[in-house]
Amino acid sequence: MKTVSLISELRAQVKAWREQGLTVAFVPTMGNLHAGHISLVDVAHKHADKVVASIFVNPMQFGIHEDIDNYPRTMADDQQKLTAAGTDLLFTPTPEIIYPKGLNKQSFVEVPNVSEGYCGESRPGHFRGVATVVCKLFNLVQPDVACFGLKDYQQVQVIQTMVEDLSMPITIVPVATIREKSGLALSSRNGYLTAEEKASAPVLQQSLQWLAEQVKSGFEQNDSIDFIGLAKQAAYTINKAGLHTDYLHICQAQTLQPASEDDTQLVILAAAHCGNARLIDNVQVNLI
Ligand code: PAF
């Protein structure tokens, strides 16, 4: 695998592939890679001839109280994993390359509606940072396809909406979440969990699964479903296990608006603090 940091090197390689008629899939990451990221690379290979990954810890998506300096950076290990997964090119720009004028003078991309609420509310400015860097990386790599993990369900909706609204000629491929045996979704943030916290953390996914079953059985029995009441019960169980629920909502799967009785494609979105880690997870519920 070739690693490049300069935009000119990235563009030259992608241009050479294009001249040979090859297609390109892209996997953007912030590094500290785990099996979830590698599954994105595996899926990317199925969609294009060449796979480009990027590692860039994007300062624009971190809030003022979020510690970007302590975000885990494991470049050598990441390079090994990407090489083993058959990645063709790794792009590792510096913040100066991505934001040469500095963050305050940088144009940005704001995606309305789906960016609001949930993680958008708990982390103001986060999705502006994500949309802006992904837009910029898309313009640099110019992929045919880009793969994103469904653990960050709201992020996938934000990027899908941006691509549609701005007519970007890129297919977004959502990729299923990879989990530990316990059900805990793989995340770079799991590294912040103590052994005790790691034992409690699966309650998040278990409670979402319980909630999904309640919604499905209410629908099958034609009962009126108390979305808010059920969500409160699930949050109670999560908090009782020692986590602290940030939000937990049952939403329409595309718009992310609160679910109503008429919706049949739903997603349950949740975030909870567990020790020093803020975990997010979700479950999709298709009623027909
Ligand atoms: O999901 C992530 O790791 C980041 O939000 C992304 C998409 C690489 C943008 O920085």
Q: Which residues are catalytic?
A: 37
Positive/negative CA dihedral, 98, 102, 105, 109: positive
Tens digit of pLDDT for each residue in 111-133?
Answer: 999 999 999 999 999 999 999 99
Which residue has 């009623």 as its token pair?
287
pLDDT at position 282, please?
98
Predicted confidence (pLDDT) at residue 21 exceeds the cutoff of 90: yes
For ligand 1, atom 2, the nearest C-alpha belongs to 29
Ligand 1 nearest-atom number relative to CA 159? 7
Half-sphere exposure of 58 (CA within 13 A, CB side): 21
Cα–Cα distance for residue pair 217/118, rounded to 1 Å: 26
3-state secondary structure of 262: coil
CATH of domain 188-282: 3.30.1300.10
Tell me the domain boundaries of the chain.
Answer: 2-175, 188-282
Q: What are phi and psi of 172, to 5 degrees?
A: -90, 125
Distance 215 CA to ligand 1 centre (A): 31
d(CA 36, CA 85): 12
Among the atoms of ligand 1, which is closest to the Cα of residue 29? 8
**Among the four given CATH numbers 3.30.300.30, 3.40.50.1370, 3.40.50.450, 3.40.50.620, the one describing domain 2-175:** 3.40.50.620
pLDDT at 112: 98
Structure confidence at residue 167 (pLDDT)? 98
8/222: higher pLDDT: 8
Please state, rounded to an integer, the average pLDDT across all residues of the chain. 97
Q: Is 30 in the pocket of ligand 1 (CB under 6 A)?
A: yes
- Tens of pLDDT along 53-111? 999 999 999 999 898 999 999 999 999 999 999 999 999 999 999 999 999 999 999 99
Distance between Cα 29 and ligand 1 center (Å): 5
Closest Cα to atom 8 of ligand 1: 29
Q: Is the CB of residue 58 below 6 angstroms from any atom belonging to ligand 1?
A: yes
Position 149 confidence tier, pLDDT thresholds 50, 70, 90: very high
Question: Ligand 1 centroid vs 106 CA: distance in angstroms?
Answer: 18
| pLDDT-derived band at 32, boundaries 50, 70, 90 | very high
pLDDT of residue 28: 99
Model-level pTM? 0.97
pLDDT confidence band for 270 (50 / 70 / 90): very high
Ligand 1: centre distance to CA 18 (Å): 25
Q: Tell me what pLDDT residue 204 has.
A: 98
- Residue 134 in contact with ligand 1 by CB distance below 6 A: yes
